[in-house]
């Protein structure tokens, strides 16, 4: 099988083309066609000789992703894409048209093995990790989708299917590629990574000198509730996790976001708000409240609007920075995993 060079950085491609005795500038030409001009055929790289194009086509492939399915929300602001890679493995990517620009949510694994009780991504377990190129393919697919409107992706949230820090090297490769001028030329501050809380990898990420935003899926104010919702809490307790979050914020000088899914009767009571406030007091952090997107297979219920307001007010009273996530794509089940699971069935 030919090597797929989509997803290589410029230095990596330069090194690869050395084996064909090609000068470094050829790699720059190929990179421009791949990432800037969305070209997936060597035949179309017209500033390369016919002989060179044939040589490259014999050695390499340029597979990116193909569209299997798509869904549009009624308000036209959210689009979910199901994209497949060369081996047929498919993942979801979501485009959200926000007031501040176009935001996308990308997947880092096909499926997930974290076992969170409220999430559809793990219903069929983990298929495999995605490569840096496969994660990038999602972002560039949507850039190409937006191009006819003279728009582009403005922000990226690494919060789709999978645990990003369980696929660390590929995710870091993707983030660095997004930042490169020859690729997406995106500022690191426009990228958010969300993790369920693999503490050693959070500590490692803090040393990377990447000013991205870190979002931690907390979803509970104490170990008992969190362990019932998120098995990873049995390995890394809430205390360990919030200490790692505080250390990350102190080292990077970047405010942490703690994601908190509100589930009726589980973690949405006044006592839970008091515990959460005590847990995060003094941290350079904000709390993002997320009323749960009900998933038939999971059986959890959404709190009432009044209960959501009361919980938010209780946190604000304790001087926490709080937002309630603006809902997008509920009518197309934009939460991760649901379209992929339908496809698998």
Is 82 within 8 Å of 91 (Cβ atoms)? yes
Adjacent-strand bridge partners of 191 = 156
Between the CA atoms of 226, 230, 231 and 234, what dihedral angle is there, to the nearest 10 degrees?
-30
The answer to whether residues 296 and 233 belong to one domain is: yes
- Residue position matching structure tokens 């193909």: 66
92 as an active site residue: the answer is yes
The pLDDT of residue 24: 94
The pLDDT of residue 261: 96
- Marked catalytic residue, from 116, 119, 178, 336: 336
- Marked catalytic residue, from 51, 92, 112, 151: 92
Q: Compute the distance between CA of residue 110 and CA of residue 93 in angstroms, rounded to an integer.
A: 11
Contacts of 269 (CB under 8 A, 6+ apart): none
Q: Which residues of 233-263 are buried (b: 16+ CB within 10 A; e: fewer)?
A: beebbbeebbbbbbebbeebebebbbbbbbb
From 61, 80, 106, give the residue that closes a domain: 61
The pLDDT of residue 124: 84
Number of domain units in the chain: 2
Adjacent-strand bridge partners of 100 = none
Consecutive H or E run containing 24: helix 24-31
Q: Compute the distance between CA of residue 176 and CA of residue 276 in angstroms, rounded to an integer.
A: 34
336 as an active site residue: the answer is yes
The answer to whether residues 176 and 225 belong to one domain is: yes
From 15, 38, 61, give the residue that closes a domain: 61
The answer to whether residues 248 and 296 belong to one domain is: yes
The answer to whether residues 39 and 153 belong to one domain is: no
Half-sphere exposure of residue 57, counting CA atoms within 13 Å on the CB side? 14
Q: Which two tokens stand for residue 301?
A: 């219920």
Query: Which residue range(s) make up the domain with 323?
Result: 66-344
The pLDDT of residue 329: 54
The answer to whether residues 101 and 33 belong to one domain is: no
The answer to whether residues 113 and 201 belong to one domain is: yes
> In terms of DSSP bridges, do strands 256-262 and 285-291 run parallel, antiparallel, or are they unpaired?
parallel
Residue 3: left (phi > 0), alpha (psi -120 to 50), or beta?
beta
The answer to whether residues 249 and 155 belong to one domain is: yes
The answer to whether residues 233 and 104 belong to one domain is: yes
Quote the crossing angle between the two packed helices 24-31 and 10-18, to the nearest 10°: 130
> CATH number of the domain that 97 lies in?
3.20.20.70
The pLDDT of residue 140: 97
> CATH number of the domain that 17 lies in?
1.10.150.530
The pLDDT of residue 299: 77
Report the candidate in 95, 244, 76 with the shortest Cα–Cα distance to residue 157. 95
Q: Which two tokens stand for residue 272?
A: 């839970």
The answer to whether residues 28 and 169 belong to one domain is: no
The answer to whether residues 163 and 53 belong to one domain is: no
Adjacent-strand bridge partners of 291 = 262
Is 260 within 8 Å of 276 (Cβ atoms)? yes
* pTM attached to this predicted model: 0.92
pLDDT tens per residue across all 345 residues of the chain: 899 999 999 999 999 999 999 999 999 999 999 999 999 999 999 999 999 999 999 999 999 999 999 999 998 899 999 999 999 999 999 999 988 899 999 999 999 999 999 888 888 889 999 999 999 999 999 999 999 999 999 999 999 999 999 999 999 999 999 999 999 999 999 999 999 999 999 999 999 999 999 999 999 999 999 999 999 999 999 999 999 999 999 999 999 999 999 999 999 999 999 999 999 999 999 999 999 987 655 679 999 999 999 999 999 999 999 999 876 655 545 455 555 455 554
Half-sphere exposure of residue 140, counting CA atoms within 13 Å on the CB side? 30
The answer to whether residues 52 and 142 belong to one domain is: no
The answer to whether residues 48 and 76 belong to one domain is: no
């Amino acid at each position: 099988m030919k090597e797929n060079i989509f997803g290589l950085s410029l230095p990596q491609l330069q090194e690869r083309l050395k084996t064909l005795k090609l000068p470094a500038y050829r790699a720059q030409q190929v990179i421009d066609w791949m990432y800037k001009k969305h070209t997936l055929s060597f035949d179309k790289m017209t500033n390369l000789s016919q002989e060179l194009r044939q040589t490259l086509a014999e050695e390499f492939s340029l597979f990116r992703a193909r569209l299997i399915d798509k869904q549009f929300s009624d308000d036209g602001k959210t689009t979910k894409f199901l994209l497949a890679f060369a081996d047929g493995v498919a993942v979801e990517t979501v485009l959200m048209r926000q007031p501040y620009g176009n935001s996308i949510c990308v997947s880092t694994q096909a499926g997930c093995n974290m076992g969170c009780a409220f999430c559809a991504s793990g219903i069929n377990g983990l298929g495999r990790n995605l490569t840096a190129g496969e994660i990038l393919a999602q972002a560039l697919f949507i850039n190409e989708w937006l191009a006819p409107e003279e728009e582009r992706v403005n922000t990226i949230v690494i919060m789709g299917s999978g645990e990003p820090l369980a696929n660390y090297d590929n995710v870091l490769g993707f983030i660095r590629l997004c930042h490169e001028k020859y690729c997406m030329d995106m500022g690191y501050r426009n990228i958010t990574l969300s993790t369920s809380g693999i503490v050693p990898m959070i500590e490692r990420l803090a040393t990377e000198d990447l000013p991205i935003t870190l979002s931690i899926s907390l979803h509970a104010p104490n170990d008992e509730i969190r362990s019932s919702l998120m098995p990873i809490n049995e390995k890394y307790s809430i205390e360990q996790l919030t200490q790692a979050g505080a250390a990350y914020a102190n080292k990077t000088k970047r405010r942490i976001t703690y994601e908190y899914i509100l589930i009726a009767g589980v973690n949405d009571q006044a006592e839970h708000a008091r515990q959460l406030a005590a847990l995060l007091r003094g941290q350079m952090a904000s709390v993002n409240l997320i009323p749960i997107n009900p998933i038939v297979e999971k059986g959890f219920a959404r709190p009432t609007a009044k209960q959501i307001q009361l919980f938010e007010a209780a946190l604000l009273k304790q001087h926490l920075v709080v937002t309630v996530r603006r809902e997008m794509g509920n009518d197309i089940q934009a939460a991760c995993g649901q379209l992929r699971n339908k496809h698998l069935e």
